[in-house]
């Protein structure tokens, strides 16, 4: 039997991903000063046990001021390496590829954790000891109503940020990661440069699409040079902004061609984050066409996201060549065993399950087929014990 496309390996440079299912970066806002501990070991480790071939650690700040919130993971300091190395070690022990997304929030920094409220932190709404901090962006354009005006970065500050990305990349190597992903999506700093809605600069870093790409491409080039040549580099993009008058899919395809020229190995194709909402049709797999367009236009492998909820649906994305990887976030949180359940559904067997559980579940299935199905609320009446 030909294995499902979801469960075939993919080799990028010197790293072989054991299957095509990826845990997308999911911010947990659950650390102090960027240092991960037991929570992240359990949170990320369960996805390895659940059969995901690759796990990407959430947006990890390259500077302290580049955090989204006070609870973000970081790699701006050497003291943050050890906790992530512990996570990487466990992922590797389960045969899982470990990746990390390096990010800077730009004008979306200094925000509340989602459960503390929406929008930016203010002196009146801050938790004790968690004061807001000034933000930076491509231009002094607030992200929306109620957001503070960020500082427009000067060219000397841009060069310093490139160095920060390089330093974080080297720490990621020390932690043992197999894959680095540069975050240029979802309205964060690099996306703020790419989007005409937030980049109103008149220097060499603003204006035309090529100029708006300049700083993100400088970051990617520097990360690629710092990252080992045998390890893949991914870039996450927002194929379109949330507003219809923002970044276009055609501009993103052109950006992806430039990424290919720099040695990027795959594009993680998402959308939105700038523009105050979503002005495009939404449905199951609604962002897959963007992944297909980027793949066709750039020649790079792509990762598809966006309401991919069913195994047959995800399988079809790969089988039809629209993308090369499928990333899950909310579906993975809802069911960390999603790949194992998908393997069972698509192959009819428990062969993909860990040896600690697969044979037991198979024997339970055999038992269940030998008895009448349960149909009512009453418990089965057991025979009384012999006296």
Kindly report the average pLDDT of the chain as a whole number.
Answer: 95
Mean pLDDT computed over 260-282: 91
Residue with tokens 């790969």: 318
Mean pLDDT of the 175-202 span: 97
Q: How many C-beta atoms surround the C-beta of residue 315 within 10 A?
A: 19
Asked if residues 138 and 152 have their Cβ atoms less than 8 Å apart, the reply is yes
**Rounded distance, CA 143 to CA 187, Å?**
8
Contact 290, 269 (CB under 8 A): yes
State the DSSP string of 215-266: HHHHHHHHHHHHS-TTS-EEEEEESS-SSTTS--HHHHHHHHHHHHHTT--E
Give the pLDDT band of residue 380 (cuts 50, 70, 90).
low
pLDDT higher than 80, residue 185: yes
Catalytic (active-site) positions: 188
Domain ranges of the chain: 5-353
pLDDT digits (tens, 9 = 90+) for 237-256: 999 998 989 999 999 999 99
Whole-angstrom distance, CA of residue 46 vs CA of residue 38: 12
Give the per-residue pLDDT at 383: 61
What is the pTM assigned to this prediction? 0.94
Percent of the chain past pLDDT 70, that is, above it, reads 97
Residue 227 has pLDDT above 90, yes or no: yes
Round to whole Å and give the CA distance between 234 and 56: 11
Distance CA 307, CA 325 (A): 14
Confidence bin at 15 (pLDDT 50/70/90) = very high
Give the largest CA-CA distance in the chain: 92
Give which of 235, 196, 197 is closest to 216, Cα–Cα. 235
Neighbours of 70 (CB within 10 A): 23
Q: Exposed/middle/buried for 136, CB within 10 Å: 0-12, 13-18, 19+?
A: buried
Q: Per-residue confidence at 379, pLDDT binned at 50, 70, 90? A: low
The pLDDT score that the predictor gives to residue 84 is 98
Report how far apart the first and last C-alpha atoms of the chain are (Å, whole number). 54
How many angstroms separate the CA atoms of 167 and 169, rounded? 5
- 5-353 carries CATH number 3.20.20.70: yes
Q: How confident is the model at residue 385 (pLDDT cuts 50, 70, 90)?
A: low
Per-residue model confidence as pLDDT tens digits over 124-152: 999 999 999 999 999 999 988 888 999 99
Render pLDDT for 339-377 as a digit per residue (tens, 0 to 9): 999 999 999 999 888 889 999 999 898 888 888 887 877
């Amino acid at each position: 039997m030909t294995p499902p496309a979801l469960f075939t390996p993919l080799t990028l440079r010197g790293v072989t991903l054991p299957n095509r299912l990826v845990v997308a970066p999911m911010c947990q806002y659950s650390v102090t000063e960027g240092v991960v501990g037991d929570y992240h070991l359990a949170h990320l480790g369960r996805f390895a046990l659940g059969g995901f071939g690759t796990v990407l650690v959430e947006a990890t700040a390259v500077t302290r001021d580049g955090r989204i919130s006070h609870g973000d993971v970081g790699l701006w300091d050497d003291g943050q390496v050890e906790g992530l190395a512990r996570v990487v070690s466990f992922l590797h022990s389960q045969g899982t590829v470990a990746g990390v997304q390096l990010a800077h929030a730009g004008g979306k920094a200094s925000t509340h954790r989602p459960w503390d409220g929406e929008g930016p932190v203010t002196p009146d709404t801050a938790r004790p000891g968690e004061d807001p901090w000034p933000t930076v962006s491509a231009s002094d354009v607030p992200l929306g109503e109620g957001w503070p005006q960020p500082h427009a970065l000067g060219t000397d500050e841009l060069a310093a940020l490139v160095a920060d990305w390089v330093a974080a990349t080297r720490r990621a190597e020390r932690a043992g990661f197999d894959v680095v992903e540069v975050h240029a999506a979802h309205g964060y700093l690099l996306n703020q440069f790419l989007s005409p809605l937030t980049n109103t600069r008149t220097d060499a870093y603003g204006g035309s699409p090529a100029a708006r790409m300049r700083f993100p491409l400088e970051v990617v080039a520097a990360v690629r040079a710092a990252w080992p040549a045998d390890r893949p580099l991914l870039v996450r993009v927002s194929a379109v902004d949330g507003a219809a008058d923002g970044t276009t899919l055609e501009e993103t395809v052109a950006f992806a061609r430039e990424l290919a020229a720099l040695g990027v190995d795959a594009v993680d194709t998402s959308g939105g984050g700038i523009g105050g909402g979503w002005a495009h049709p939404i449905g199951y797999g609604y962002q897959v066409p963007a992944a297909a367009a980027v793949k066709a236009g750039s020649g790079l492998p792509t990762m598809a996201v966006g309401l991919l909820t069913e195994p047959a649906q995800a399988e079809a994305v790969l089988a039809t060549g629209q993308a090369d990887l499928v990333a899950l976030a909310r579906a993975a949180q809802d069911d960390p065993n999603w790949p194992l359940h998908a393997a069972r559904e698509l192959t009819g067997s428990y062969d993909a399950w860990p040896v600690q559980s697969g044979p037991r579940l198979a024997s339970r299935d055999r038992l269940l087929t030998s008895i009448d199905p349960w149909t009512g609320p009453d418990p089965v009446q057991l025979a009384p014990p012999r006296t």
